[in-house]
């Protein structure tokens, strides 16, 4: 987890990053219903690393770990659990995430996906148009997250006010964000963080917004997937000093274990793009499908097609049946090693996935390997997730299951 400095952007309080995009490329609208109704972008202020990370060439040669997790999707049952965890007075989402906090907080850089927008004054709703308690942001910060993607099909569920409340709350909690914006100036900024002496750019995009049009006069409010624009943003991030560029696409087909043809095509195109012999994008960590999807090394870069849900209520799939896969996911963990020569690529020298599960009965995220080590009977669940993650020969490319 990186330490942070105050933002220096002229757009107060601008921690988020977004880029105006207007073309829809990928995906299917909606999130599954709960089972129980319940110009070139400018540089964003970088989060500071540890004291040694900002002091000299030696720090710039230090490897770092990056973790990424899936959709935070508070259905009504999740909101009720947070209220119970707060003793009936307010909302506390920290206990839900306590099971993965040791893993998240130990990483040099941690990225989440905040799928929903925040409501206010007790006006909180679940599916189909979400307005989550803003206390989610404080829980993400307490767990160790440094930045969250905020471009999703639910980004405009409560219009520009919901978007603004969400980014304001993340700012207040000290969590940076990428994918949506409160102003045109903010939309031209790149979210840039530090980890292990490297500058890491975080970019985020969504396939669409469930039919909600982009607000009048605000085409920059949320980033929509467009191949050329993503590459333009990635190259702008390099010019701004990014050593590593990470893209969080909200894409694919809900409830489909296999990545869609569009995911495969876009991943191939994005990872093939280079400038002066150096890849424009170093890592892709996808969300949206509600189920774990495969990891794959494509053109030398790792792609996690779908990390699955991290927090979600029990859900029905498109056939109307309860589907336990909606509470399964993975944590991707990637160790980046500095280049041998200045200007070279930071290479992923270790790629790992950690199976996780949201226990809807207890209302808790579970690190499955840690739970199994403690004697819990989750082996079949863990192994199912493992089979999906490795279904595109990621093990042959070096992906291993971590703890």
Q: Work out the end-to-end distance of the chain between its first and last CA atoms, rounded to an integer number of angstroms.
A: 17
Q: How far is CA 224 from CA 210, 263, 380, in A?
A: 12, 14, 37
Distance separating alpha carbons of residues 241 and 154, to the nearest angstrom: 31
8 A C-beta contact, residue 3 and residue 49: yes
pLDDT at 33: 61
Q: Is residue 9 domain-resident?
A: no
Structural domain of 106: 16-401
**CATH number (domain holding residue 306):** 3.60.21.10
Write out the H or E segment, with its range, that includes residue 351.
strand 347-359
Q: Is residue 115 domain-resident?
A: yes
Residue-level length of the chain: 403
139 upstream amide cis, omega within 30 of 0: no
Question: 3-state DSSP call for residue 104?
Answer: helix
Q: Is residue 67 domain-resident?
A: yes
Q: How far is CA 249 from CA 103, 118, 226, 294, in A?
A: 23, 21, 10, 15
Two tokens at 83?
Answer: 């209220």
Q: Provide the pairing of β-strand 278-279 with 274-275.
A: antiparallel
Q: How far is CA 116 from CA 40, 150, 226, in A?
A: 27, 8, 22
pTM of the model: 0.89
Question: 3-state DSSP call for residue 81?
Answer: helix
pLDDT at 34: 61
Q: Is residue 1 domain-resident?
A: no
Q: Is residue 8 domain-resident?
A: no
Q: Is residue 178 domain-resident?
A: yes
Count how many domains the chain has. 1
Mean pLDDT, consecutive 10-residue stretches, the chain (403 aa), reads 34 34 41 51 43 42 95 98 97 98 98 98 97 98 98 98 98 98 97 96 98 97 98 98 98 98 98 96 98 98 98 96 98 96 93 98 98 98 98 98 96
Q: Is residue 383 domain-resident?
A: yes
8 A C-beta contact, residue 268 and residue 276: no
Two tokens at 263?
Answer: 């995911």
Residue (of 335, 72, 301) closest to 198 by Cα position = 335
Q: Is residue 381 domain-resident?
A: yes
Two tokens at 165?
Answer: 């409340």
């Amino acid at each position: 987890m990186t330490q942070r400095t105050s933002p220096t952007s002229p757009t107060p309080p601008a921690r988020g990053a977004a880029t105006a995009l207007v073309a829809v490329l990928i995906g299917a609208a909606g999130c599954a219903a709960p089972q129980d109704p319940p110009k070139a972008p400018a540089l964003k202020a970088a989060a500071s690393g540890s004291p040694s990370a900002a002091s000299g060439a030696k720090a710039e040669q230090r490897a770092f770990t990056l973790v990424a997790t899936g959709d935070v999707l508070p259905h009504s049952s999740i909101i009720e659990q947070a209220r119970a965890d707060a003793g009936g007075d307010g909302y506390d989402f920290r206990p839900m995430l306590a099971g993965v906090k040791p893993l998240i907080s130990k990483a040099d850089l941690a990225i989440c996906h905040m799928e929903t927008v925040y409501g206010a004054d007790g006006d909180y709703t679940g599916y189909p148009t979400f307005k989550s308690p803003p206390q989610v942001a404080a829980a993400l910060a307490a767990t160790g997250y440094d930045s969250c993607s905020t471009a999703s099909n639910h980004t405009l569920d409560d219009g520009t006010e919901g978007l603004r409340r969400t980014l304001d709350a993340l700012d207040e909690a000290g969590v940076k964000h990428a994918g949506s914006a409160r102003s045109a100036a903010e939309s031209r900024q790149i979210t840039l963080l530090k980890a292990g002496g490297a500058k890491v750019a975080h970019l985020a995009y969504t396939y669409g917004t469930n039919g909600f049009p982009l607000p009048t006069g605000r085409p920059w409010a949320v980033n929509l997937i467009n191949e050329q624009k993503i590459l333009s943003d990635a190259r702008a991030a390099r010019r701004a000093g990014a050593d590593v560029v990470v893209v969080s696409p909200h894409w694919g087909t809900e409830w489909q274990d296999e990545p869609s043809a569009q995911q495969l095509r876009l991943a191939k195109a994005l990872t093939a793009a280079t400038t002066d012999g150096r890849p424009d994008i170093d890592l892709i960590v996808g969300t949206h499908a509600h189920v774990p999807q495969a990891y794959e090394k494509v053109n030398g870069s790792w792609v996690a097609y779908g990390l699955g849900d991290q927090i979600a209520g029990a859900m029905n799939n498109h056939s109307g049946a309860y589907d336990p896969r909606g509470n399964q996911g993975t944590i991707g963990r990637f160790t980046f090693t500095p280049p041998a020569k200045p200007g070279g690529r930071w290479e992923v020298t270790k790629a790992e996935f950690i199976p996780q599960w949201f226990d809807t009965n207890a209302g808790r995220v579970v690190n499955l390997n840690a739970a199994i080590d403690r004697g819990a009977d989750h082996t079949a669940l863990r192994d199912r997730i493992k089979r999906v993650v490795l279904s595109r020969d990621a093990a042959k490319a070096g992906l291993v299951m971590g703890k």
